[in-house]
Structure 1
Amino acid sequence: MGRYIARKRARFHSFGREVNIPWGAVLEEQDGSLFWKGKLLCSVTSQNAYDYFSRDDDGLGKLRGQLVGAIKDRLEKRDKEYQARWNKVWADPKCQQYKRPEHEDWWVWNYDFYNAPIPDLQYIAALVGAGRG
C-alpha cells in the first residue's frame, strides 16, 4: 500500500459522485488505484491523479507536488520565452526519460515524471526557470 497527497484542491467527478478533496489530504494507493476515506477515486495513471496528487511514500509528496506544479506552470506560460523553454525540454536527455514516447509531435509527461525523484524535478525546474516550486 502506498501513500499520496493532494498537491492542490481536487474537484472532479469520480464514479458518478462529486469529489472535493482539500490540499494536503492524504490518500492511500492500493493495486494502482487511489482511495480517499476508503472510497475509490481513480487510477494512479489517470489524468486526475496527475493533475491533483503526488506520491508521498518518501515523505516528500508536498515538495514533489510543488515542483511538478511549478514546472508545468512555467512551461504553460505564454510569454516571449515560451518556445525557448520548450526547446530546452525537448533537447534535454534527462527530460526525455519523462516524455511519453507515443506522442512524437508534442510533449506529454509520463507517469514517471509525476513520481520522479526530487533531484530530477529540481533539475527540470531549474532548466525551465521554475525555481524550486
Structure 2
Amino acid sequence: MGRRYIVKQRARIDTITGPVNLPYGTEVEAVEDYLIHQGRRLCAVTSRKAHLYFARDDDGQGRERGALTLAITKRLEKRDKDHQARWDRVWEDPGCQKYRHPEHEDHFIWDHAFFEAPVEDLRHIAALIGARE
C-alpha cells in the first residue's frame, strides 16, 4: 500500500496516461514516486501538477493541507500594494525558510516539502501573510 493523497481542487488535466477529470476529494495513492488512480499513473509526486492538484492525506488532514497550500500560494501571487511586504515576512521567517527550495538563492520557491508540510506549519505561514483557507 502506498501513501494516500486526495484531490485538493478539481483535476481536469492531462496525465502520463492521458486526460483525467477527478473531482475534489478523490483519493489517489502514491506508489514508487507516482500518483496513481484506478491503476493509472497520473504524475510524479514531486511534479508541478501534483503540487497544484493533490495533497498528502496520510494523516487525514489532506483537505486542510490542500486548502492551506492553495491559499498561501494564491495570496503570495497577488500583486497589490502589500505584495512585497508579504514576501519580506516569508523571507525573514525561520519557519518558512525550511520550505524554500535550496537551489534558488535569489528567489523564494517552495520546495516539495512545503506541499507535504504539517498543517500546523502551514497555518503559521498562512497567518503570517494573511491568507485565508
Report the TM-score range of the alignment, normalised by the length of the smaller protein. over 0.9
- Range moving further from structure 2, 57-66 or 8-17: 8-17
Secondary structure, counterpart of 2:13 in structure 1: strand
Alpha-carbon spacing, 1:53–1:13, altered in 2? closer, same or farther (3 Å) = same
Following the alignment from structure 1 to structure 2, what is the Cα–Cα distance between the partners of residues 38 and 93? 40
Shift of 1:15: 2.3
Query: Match for residue 15 of structure 1?
Result: 16
Query: Match for residue 53 of structure 1?
Result: 54
Shift of 1:30: 1.1
Q: Which runs of 5+ in 2 are unaligned?
A: none
- Cα RMSD of the aligned pairs, angstroms, is 1.0
Matched residue type, 1:126: A
Following the alignment from structure 1 to structure 2, what is the Cα–Cα distance between the partners of residues 33 and 12? 15
After superposition, the C-alpha distances for 1:50-99 in whole angstroms (9 at most, x for unaligned) are: 01000000000000001101111111111100000000001111100000
Following the alignment from structure 1 to structure 2, what is the Cα–Cα distance between the partners of residues 11 and 47? 14
Q: TM-score, normalised by structure 2?
A: 0.95
| Dislocated runs of 4+, deviation >6 Å | none
Within 5 Å, give how 1:27-46 maps onto structure 2.
27-46=28-47
Kindly tell me the number of residue pairs found equivalent between the two proteins.
132
Secondary structure, counterpart of 1:90 in structure 2: helix
Matched residue type, 1:91: E
